[in-house]
C-alpha cells in the first residue's frame, strides 16, 4: 500500500472543499435558452434535459461586450447561469450569455 494515500486523500478533499467554497454553493447551468418569461428561463441543457431557473429583480445580466438587461436575452442564446438553490428551485443571480445564432439565409 502506498504510504502517501492518506495525505493525497486529504489534499484532494481540501481542494474540493475550497472549490465549493469559492462558488459559494451556487450551481452553474449551461445551455441554450429554450423559452423565457419575466420571472423564469427554461434552459436546454444537453439536448435532452431542460432546467428551469427563476429570475428576480436582483438578477444581473452580462454579455461578452459587458453589462446587459433581461430584454437583451432571447430564445436561442447560449448562456451560463450562476444560481443558488432555494428550496426546490434555482434562482439566478447572474446570467452570462451570447447572442442567439441567427437562422442561415436561404438563397
Q: Tens digit of pLDDT for each residue in 18-40?
A: 444 445 668 999 999 999 999 99
Within a domain: 14: no
pLDDT digits (tens, 9 = 90+) for 37-61: 999 999 999 878 999 999 999 999 9
In-domain check, residue 74: yes
Domain of 76: which CATH number? 2.40.50.320
Which residues span the domain enclosing 40?
26-97
> What's the pTM value of the predicted model, to 2 decimals?
0.71
Helix (H) or strand (E) holding 31: strand 27-36
In sequence order, the β-bridge partners of residue 30 are: 80
> Quick check: is 31 in a domain?
yes
Model pLDDT, residue 69:
95
> Helix H segments across 1-107?
5-22
In a domain, 34, yes or no: yes
Amino acid at each position: 500500500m502506498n504510504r502517501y494515500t492518506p495525505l493525497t486523500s486529504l489534499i484532494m478533499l481540501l481542494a474540493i472543499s475550497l472549490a465549493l467554497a469559492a462558488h459559494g454553493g451556487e450551481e452553474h447551468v449551461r445551455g441554450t435558452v429554450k423559452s423565457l418569461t419575466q420571472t423564469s428561463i427554461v434552459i436546454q441543457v444537453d439536448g435532452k434535459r431542460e432546467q428551469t431557473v427563476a429570475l428576480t429583480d436582483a438578477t444581473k445580466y452580462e454579455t461578452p461586450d459587458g453589462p446587459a438587461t433581461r430584454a437583451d436575452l432571447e430564445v436561442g442564446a447560449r448562456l451560463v447561469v450562476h444560481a443558488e438553490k432555494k428550496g426546490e428551485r434555482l434562482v439566478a443571480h447572474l446570467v452570462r450569455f451570447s447572442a442567439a445564432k441567427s437562422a442561415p439565409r436561404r438563397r
